[in-house]
Structures are given as structure tokens and as C-alpha cells.
Structure 1
Amino acid sequence: MTTTSSVNNNSSTTNVNAALQSGSASAADLQSNFLKMLVTQMNNQDPLNPMDNAQLTSQLAQISTVSSMQTMNSTLNQLLSQVSASRAMDSAALIGHTVMVPGSQFSVKDGVAGQFGVDLPSTADAVTVNVLDANGNVVRTIDMKGQTAGVHDIAWDGKNDAGVAVADGDYTFKVSATANGTSVQPVALVYGKVNSISGDSTGVLVDVGNGQQANVDDVRRIL
């Protein structure tokens, strides 16, 4: 009498399920391993305990899903790379232009202060600007009073609160803006000339000098 080796369907599929869950194998490896086990099971199955069709169908569906997802992921990565390269090329047109980007550092040269501004996410009933020297001392306080939401230039004549012209050098500024006593989270902005375009994991960056960089998506104005 011919004997038939019994193959446990559950134990023979455990490795496939584990690989599917951990993502440790590629779709091609999973398909290859699955087919090998399928052939082995069919050759050695117990006639009294044949393979479970529902389980077989479920695993085929899982393997198909993994394969599709890996293919989709590869395609999306290629598309993202192409979009990133395209955006970098388009952004290169900004080189040589003056842009307004988030920042708080500017310079005074020959008595003329660099341009700066503020972006208000919402209307504010009080906006105050403090200009600080390199030592952190407030040299000028500017009351802009109430302002609507949007980007605003801040006018400063390069003089301190006593009306005396400040020395040339590097300065910073801070903006506080409130509506009914609550901060509207203003964003300090500076102008700078785009020297170069680069990129990192955050996207395309514009270099406006003085060690300042900003994401191209954060550019508020282009002159």
C-alpha cells in the first residue's frame, strides 16, 4: 500500500505570512517561495486532508497586494524625484532676484537699513517691532498699530529711539502682534538676493546670503 506524507498547511504557510507582515522579503522572493511550497503541498498532500482552497486564495491575494504595493512605491519614488528635479530647475530662475523670506537678521550699511517685514496670519489690533543691535540691546521700537492679515513691509529710517543714526553693522528684529490680547503668531521676514538654489530632504532651498536659506515654498515676494 502506498503511503502519503502529510504536510501541515498551516505550518507551511507561516513563513510567508511572517514575511508579508515584516516586509523582510521582496515580492519576487515571496512569489518564488510560495510557488515552491504550493508544489510541495500538492505533491505531498493527504487525500483525507486536502489543501484549504480559502487559505490558498487568501495567500495569493496577499502576495499580489505586496507585489502591487512595491511596484507602486517604486513608481511614486521615481515621480517624486522627477518633480523635485523639475522644481529645482524652475526655481533656478530666481537666481539674481530679490526675494522676501522668513528671517530676522539684516544689516545697516552707509546709514541705510536693509529691508524687512512681517507676515500676519490674521488681522492684529496691535503690532510692535523691536530692532536690536549685535549685543541684543533694543535700539528702536516701532509701533505699527493695527494691521490686516498678510505681508507688510516695516519702515525703519536707521535711527534709534533718540533720533540718532545707528552704527553700520548687523541687526535683528522681533515682532509681536496681538488680537484681543492673544498673539497671532507673526512671521518675521527679510529681503535678500538669491545667490544659488540647492535642495535637501525638505525640498528646494534658496540661498539669500549671510548664511540664510529658506524653502522656496516660503518665499513671500519676488522683486
Structure 2
Amino acid sequence: MDNVTNSNAYLEGLGLGANPKAEKPASKSDEFLTLMLAQIQNQDPLKPMDNGEFLTQLAQIETAGGIADLQQSTNDVVNALQSSQALQASSMVGRSVVVPSDVSNLSNGRLGGSVAVVDAADRVEVKIYSESGSLVKTIDLGALPKGIADFSWDGKDENGNSLPDGQYEMKSTAWYSSGVTEALPTMANARVESVTIGGGSQGIALNLDGLGSWRMADVLQIHQ
């Protein structure tokens, strides 16, 4: 299992290391920053806080205090946000996540996916295609209620032959009592292999087994 190093040097690089400063009288911005950092540490990684709102409030508080103090406070907030997000992302290494994709990766005889059933259906079917576009497997999920339905494939074709690991396309169809058929959105289940911490606007990316790099914001669900 890949790991993200959690060392003092790493934390300092993210702005979490010890950095003693000379004491100074507490200001409104200091009190605001303390409150904001507490909220950052307790936020849901899949529902991050509205950073813009906090930065706007901070700017209003600091206007009378000088541009230099404002810049320092803003930098502290940005560093704290990046550090919090990096630590949250690192905790996902080795876990499985669900992302919106009609392509999933077969690894060690297993491919995991999900179907978004938009309305209760009489029958839902998933077809698996090879990279060359050949239909290799049809999975009948039966009648399903509205919601997210998980499925897995053992990597064997209709004749029971084991197919090679790699990427396979998934296409889902629903049949309704009205006689209407409808294509359904599919999602891929993949393991987080590592985390890439980019600078500036690049942000943090999750590197998924067989599916490449994805933004944290694209993750729909996290499994153990």
C-alpha cells in the first residue's frame, strides 16, 4: 500500500510545522484566524467550506490594520487550507473511491462500478466492453429502486474465459414498465494509489489505480 509521508519536514513545507514568532497583542484578525482554522480542521473533505466568504470577511476586518498585516493573515489562511486538504487527501491512500466515469479498471480479476438509477426500473443491465469495443460481458442487475446500485465483475467473459487486466467501458440501460428504455450514468470504483500536491491553482489530485489523476472534488463516495 502506498503511503504519504507525514514527517515534520513535510508538515513544515505545508505550513503546519513549528514556526515560533515574537508575541504580539491579539487583534481582531488573529481572533478571526483562530476561529477559521478551527473550522478548517473540522470540515468535511467532500464538502469543503466556502473559502471566498471567509477571505472577504478577513479583508473587511484588516482594512484599517494595514496591507502588510492583511497579506500575512491571508497567507496564513491559504497555507492552513492547503495543509488541511493535503492531510485529508493523504488519509485516502489505499481506500476505494467512486468517480463519475464510464471506464473502470479490471485489476486482479475484479472491476467495480456503480449505476445511477434515476427512477425505479423493472430491469437494469450493464454491458462491459473491451478497449477494442467488443462486448465481453452483460450483467443483469434485475429490478432496482431509485438510487445508486453497485456492481462488480470478475473479469470473465460470457464463456468463462479470464480476460486481461486493463480498462473496460461500462454502459448501463434501464427498462421501465411504460416500455421506455433509458441509458444510465455509470461510475467507476478505484483504489487511491497516491496523492499529488500541486502548487498554486493545480491543487491536490488523487492518483487512482488504472484511471489516472482525479481532483478531490470529483470524488462522489469513499469506501473503506
Shorter chain as normaliser: what TM range? Answer: 0.5 to 0.7
Q: How does 1:122-137 map to 2 (within 5 A)?
A: 122-125=118-121, 126-137=123-134
Alignment correspondent of 1:190: 189
Gaps of 5+ in 2: 1-58
> Matches of 2:162 and 2:83 in 1, distance apart?
44
In structure 2, do the counterparts of structure 1 residues 138 and 150 end up closer, same or farther at CA, with 3 Å as the change threshold?
Answer: same
> Matches of 1:166 and 1:133 in 2, distance apart?
13
Residue identity opposite 2:130 in structure 1: D
Cα deviation for residue 121 of structure 1 reads 6.1
1:176 aligns with 2:172: yes
Corresponding residue to 2:87 among 86, 89, 95: 89
| Secondary structure in structure 1 of the residue aligned to 2:140 | strand
Q: How does 1:69-148 map to 2 (within 5 A)?
A: 79-103=77-101, 104-109=103-108, 112=109, 114-120=110-116, 122-125=118-121, 126-148=123-145
Structure having the higher Rg = 1
Residue identity opposite 1:116 in structure 2: G
In structure 2, do the counterparts of structure 1 residues 148 and 205 end up closer, same or farther at CA, with 3 Å as the change threshold?
Answer: farther
> Matches of 1:87 and 1:189 in 2, distance apart?
23
In structure 2, do the counterparts of structure 1 residues 185 and 168 end up closer, same or farther at CA, with 3 Å as the change threshold?
Answer: closer
Q: How does 1:5-16 map to 2 (within 5 A)?
A: none
CA RMSD of aligned residues (A): 3.5
> Matches of 1:102 and 1:189 in 2, distance apart?
6
In structure 2, do the counterparts of structure 1 residues 213 and 178 end up closer, same or farther at CA, with 3 Å as the change threshold?
Answer: same
Q: State the identity as a percent.
A: 19
Residue identity opposite 2:207 in structure 1: D
Alignment correspondent of 1:222: 223
Alignment correspondent of 2:208: 208
> Matches of 1:177 and 1:78 in 2, distance apart?
50
Alignment correspondent of 1:151: 148
Cα deviation for residue 207 of structure 1 reads 0.8
> Matches of 1:68 and 1:196 in 2, distance apart?
35
Cα deviation for residue 139 of structure 1 reads 0.7
Is the contact made by 1:124 and 1:177 (CA closer than 8 Å) also made in structure 2?
A: no
Cα deviation for residue 131 of structure 1 reads 0.9
- Indicate the structure with greater helix content: 1
> Matches of 1:198 and 1:184 in 2, distance apart?
36
Is the contact made by 1:133 and 1:139 (CA closer than 8 Å) also made in structure 2?
A: yes
Cα deviation for residue 102 of structure 1 reads 3.3
Corresponding residue to 1:167 among 149, 163, 169: 163
In structure 2, do the counterparts of structure 1 residues 187 and 80 end up closer, same or farther at CA, with 3 Å as the change threshold?
Answer: farther
Gaps of 5+ in 1: 1-66
Is the contact made by 1:121 and 1:184 (CA closer than 8 Å) also made in structure 2?
A: no
Paired residue total: 153
